[in-house]
A and B are shown apart, each in its own frame.
Chain A
Amino acid sequence: MVMDIATSTEDTVSQQAKENMKSKRRKVIKRYVTALSFLAPALILYFIFMLYPMIDAVRYSFFDWNGASTSMNFIGVDNYTALAKDDIFLRSLGHNLLWVVLSLIMMVIPTLILAVLIANVKKGRTFFRAGFYLPSVLSLAVIGVLWAKIYDPIMGPINAFLKSIGLESLAQNWLGEPLFVIPALVLASTWAFYGLYMILYLAGLQNISRELYEAADIDGAGPISKFWNITIPSLRNTMNLVISMVVIHALKGFALIWIMTQGGPFYMSEVVSTFVYKAAFSMNKVSYGTAASVVLGVIIIVFTVGFNIYRDRSEAK
């Protein structure tokens, strides 16, 4: 009898629990369906145009495939070992590194100085901000065609200017000389991209409290000492962001190089992206090119993730 009551209460309790579970589960499912209705189109497009190609890229790189034949031969890591021995690929990687270093030199501090000047001018700040941003709104195709003409050895304005001031001996075939081609390209690319960094710096400068500068004024600090002791330390997070973006841009660069030199002369401005493009789309070495593109992708993703971890840590401090 006692047992009976116990089991029956147990039954109702468990029944109630089941009911609860059921309604809870229904709620969870409903939540999922709602979330899915918001996310599904994005996830489908993301899967088709990013995730699946990403998996495919890794897959291709382990095969020998020319893009046309119906059969793909599995060759393991052969593409990667061949890349490690490919002189042109290694030089492309080296050019990317040189590109990174030169862009950092030309972008990080000069753009900051420009931003400080703009932030300090009283009349026409908006005008200067917009004016200096102007190059960044042009397409890379426009910038590439335009700068190719600026560097043109025959009619280009740089050589014309050197001639007009009597320095004809300095005139160069800027994009045709091994020594000058990468710096010339980096200059064009700096012109194309510094606008964004200028905006970032200007936004960062707005957040520095005026009081810091006023205190420094009382101490009699000059503009240069204020720049080093207040502006740069206060902008550390912005500078980190700018540095990371400059590095990633320098690793990804393609359009300007393709339009202005196609990697020439004699592979002197070949970078990994142009190497990938040529291998896959003009030499039919599809899987080999894909392997190179995977190397580039891994370098960029590792750098990005590493940078974000570093940033989270340093900002948490």
Chain B
Amino acid sequence: MIALLKRRTSSQLMLWITLMALLLLITSPILFAILASFKTNIEIFTSPFSLPKSWSFDNIIKAWNLGNFKTYFLNSAFVTIIGMIIVVLVACPAGYAFAQLTFRGNNILFYLILLGMALPVQAIIIPIFYQLRSMGLVDSLSGVTLVSAGLALPFSIFLMRNTFRDVPKELRESSTIDGASEWRTFLSVMLPLAKPGVVALLIFTFMNIWNDFLLPLVLLKSQENFTISLGLYSFQGEQATNYALIFGGTVISMIPSIIVFLIFQRSFVEGMSEGANK
């Protein structure tokens, strides 16, 4: 018995060590970038794997100033926050209607939304560009925001429909029998019950819009409008051989998503697996 127990704990230890080594290997690019952001170009070249000689934030500060990262940062924040607000305001009622209201055409409309989920952005990016151009919204943050929100809708509606489908119909019925209007029922009875779904939606939308590359690349032209992804891309083009600065810019761009992930880690992973199981 004791021998078996010992074998169990030793195999657990082996497993733990294996996973730790794997984790170190897999996260090594991130560690490498963080270490390199403290080094000089010569140091990166001569001793790529050692710790930096001094922990100076020079590269990060220089990249921040030289690369306009402050502007990119604020632009990304604008696009992401307004985009999230639009998505939540639009997708929650729509998901609710698909899940709880009975009307003819419900299914057909929902299939149309599902079609949008299958449709890749690449297939419609060219018409979107010309449509925005005719609306005078090319190279404007509001243009990117609107399109980002619009493209996020199919999945968001799908997610909210599944969330509201899990709320018992009886709750809605008893509320409407008491004479509450549909909107009132939605806002004061159903929406509070859908809170975990809304949190998942917010996290998904944040990640999608904050990290997006293709839409900003196509729709934004002048540097003062760049988002952080596009800014980093153009920065690495300008500073092609200045590795230390590029790593500085890379680390700046990493930080927000890592912080958001660490704060919301739990709801993140749970929302992800739930969203996929539906």
A interface with B by C-beta (< 8 Å): 31-32, 34-35, 37-39, 41-43, 45-46, 48-54, 56-57, 60, 67, 114, 117-118, 120-124, 128-135, 137-142, 144-150, 152, 154-155, 157, 160-161, 164, 191, 196, 199-200, 202-203, 241, 248, 251-252, 254-255, 258-259, 272-273, 276-277, 280-281, 286, 289-290, 293-294, 296-297, 300-301, 304-305
Contact = CB atoms under 8 A, between A and B. Distances in A.
Contact of B101 (A35, A277, A304): A35
B250 A142 contact: yes
Interface in B163-222: 182-183, 186, 207, 210-214, 217-218
A200 B109 CA distance: 28
Interface residues of B, number: 95
B121 to A, nearest CB: 8
Contact of B236 (A42, A124, A148, A294): A148
Contact of B218 (A42, A45, A54, A281): A281
B122 A254 contact: yes
A241 B103 CA distance: 31
Contacts of A39: 93-94, 97-98, 109
B257 A139 contact: yes
26 contacts: A31-B103, A35-B97, A35-B101, A35-B106, A39-B97, A42-B90, A46-B150, A49-B128, A53-B127, A54-B124, A117-B19, A117-B22, A118-B19, A121-B12, A130-B262, A133-B261, A139-B228, A139-B229, A141-B230, A142-B253, A199-B276, A203-B274, A254-B122, A255-B213, A296-B123, A297-B124
A120 B18 CA distance: 12
A134 B273 contact: no
A203 B270 CA distance: 9
B207 to A, nearest CB: 7
B123 A57 contact: yes
A38 B214 contact: no
B27 interface: yes
A42 B277 CA distance: 24
B123 A300 contact: yes
A152 B146 CA distance: 37
B276 A293 contact: no
A221 to B, nearest CB: 16
Contact of A147 (B23, B29, B212): B29
Given A134-B30, A137-B258, A46 B113 contact: yes
Interface of B: 12, 15-16, 18-19, 22-23, 26-27, 29-30, 32-33, 36, 44-45, 48-49, 86, 89-91, 93-94, 96-98, 101-103, 106, 109, 112-113, 115-116, 118-131, 146-147, 149-151, 153-154, 157, 182-183, 186, 207, 210-214, 217-218, 228-230, 232-233, 236, 243, 246-247, 249-250, 253-254, 257-258, 260-262, 265, 268-269, 272-274, 276-277
Contacts of B250: 142, 145-146
A120 B127 contact: no
B276 A134 contact: no
Interface of B is mostly: helix
- Most A CB contacts (10 A, CB to CB) among B129, B157, B218, B276 go to B276
A150 B233 contact: no
Nearest to A290: B126
B29 A38 contact: no
A56 B230 contact: no
A41 B23 contact: no
A202 B269 CA distance: 10
B109 A155 contact: no
B26 A135 contact: yes
B116 A191 contact: no
A283 to B, nearest CB: 12
B19 A276 contact: no
B126 A289 contact: yes
B94 to A, nearest CB: 4
Contacts of B151: 49-50
